[in-house]
Structures are given as C-alpha cells and as structure tokens.
Amino acid sequence: MIRRHALRRILTWVAGFVVLGFRELWAEAPAASEAEGAGEGPWYGMGIDVEKCIGCGLCMQACKTENDVPAEPHFVRTWVEQYVTQTDGTVAVTTIRPGEEREATPERNVLHSFFVPKLCNHCANPPCVQVCPVGATFTTKDGVVLVDSKRCIGCGYCIQACPYGARYLHPVTKVADKCTFCYHRIEKGLLPACVEVCPTQARVFGDLRSPASPLRRMRRMHKTFVLKAALNTEPKVFYSGIDGEVR
C-alpha cells in the first residue's frame, strides 16, 4: 500500500512537470478581456491563421518596401519560418527567403509541414520598454510598441531583452528598429502592409476592444495561442492552427 501511494505521488509530480514544460513553450492565448488593456479607444493586435499561410513571402517584401528596411536578408521587421516535422521525430526550422528556391525535403520523410509568420508581438507588458535606459522604446495609448529614433542611443539593451528576436540595430541609423504594425498607416485607417498584401488573408489586424473587429471575430471562431506565454509579456499577436513545435 505504501509503495502504491508513493508511486502515485511520483507519477503525479512527473505529469505536472511535463504539463508545465509544455505550457512554457506554447500556451493558449488569454481571453480577450485579459489582453485588451485598461482605458478607452483602440487596443491593436494581430491574428495569424497558420493553416492559411503558404509561405509566399509577400508580407516580408511589402514590409521592407513600406518601411525602408535594409535589403540584406538578415534585416527584417517580419519574417516567415517553415517548420518540417520528419518521420524520425525531428523538426527542421528554416527562415524563408523571398525569391529564393527552398531545398525540398523528400516527401517520404515528411510528416507535417507548415509556415509561421513572426514579428514584434507588441506585448502589453514589454520587457524592451522596461530595459531602455533613455525611454526611447515606449507603448502608445493604443497598445503599439514603438521606438523614438531621436532618443535611441543604440545601446542594444532592448534587442537583447526581446524574447521573440524581433529587433535589430539599423546599419545606417544605428538605432533599434522593429515592426510598428505600420503605425503611420493605421493612424490613417489603413491596414499594415503585410496584412494588406497577404493573398490568403492569413493575417488579421484589428482592435481587441471592439467586438466587431476582424481580430475579435477570428478569436471567437478559432482557438488561439500566443508564443512564450509563461514569460508574462502578454503578447498581442495571436496564432491559430499552430503545433507544439512552434517557439
């Protein structure tokens, strides 16, 4: 009886650790009310339906053109990763390069393959804002995380603090740069460039506080998840259709 009781406790502990580890990598997004923030007015976010993404890279090209992102492929405000789960259980992750042919994995070795667009998550609790020594990184009243290029001193603290790898140091201006949700466009009532050009409507942009926004409708119709939820950054980029391999 004692051995049986001890075995049950051990199995319970092991199960708890497994579940906790899984949640740290990939967790269901909080209810909309938890991600909306306090106050009035819009609170912007983005939704991405992974099952619709075809990895065309048009979003990456449109972002570079719209925001004058350096042409070199390692400078990006948004990028698309391809995940290939193989029959031996391994998962290969590569970043696509628009216009370049991708090396194909033999179909007999592939269990599942999909594309995951990534970008700044415009966190409601952004670590990049907390570490900036001069207040150059800040959150607007409508929930968009921006960088004041006139105040940024290029120290790189925010780049290191971002858990999503969404920032880079601009090679010309020497200041931190990242996705802004195309803030200059949404202030005029336009969509971010990446959303506007997506041929499959895999990206959805909207106001998390408005029940009628496309983003709120998407979250009502699909189970959505956020990346690295255990870090408590409260991301405002929501994914549907992702697998546990996505980090």
Task: Domains for the chain: give ranges and CATH numbers.
Answer: 24-77+119-240 (3.30.70.20)
DSSP state of 3: H
For residues 110 and 80, the model is more confident at 80
Point out which residues pair with 52 in neighbouring strands: none
> Does residue 137 register a pLDDT over 50?
yes
Banded model confidence at residue 170, pLDDT cuts 50, 70, 90: very high
Write the pLDDT tens digit of every residue in 43-79: 999 999 999 999 999 999 999 999 999 999 999 999 9
Q: For residue 15, what pLDDT is reported?
A: 44
Banded model confidence at residue 18, pLDDT cuts 50, 70, 90: very low
Query: How far is residue 18 from each of residues 22, 23, 213, measured CA to CA in Å?
Result: 6, 9, 36
Q: For residue 213, what pLDDT is reported?
A: 96
Q: For residue 109, what pLDDT is reported?
A: 79
**Length, in residues, of the chain:** 247
**Cα–Cα distance between 157 and 130 in angstroms, integer?**
10
For residues 220 and 36, the model is more confident at 220
Type of residue numbered 212 = A
Phi, psi of 65, deg, nearest 5: -70, -45
Show the CA angle centred on residue 228, arms to residues 79 and 20, nearest 5°.
150
**Cα–Cα distance between 62 and 57 in angstroms, integer?**
9
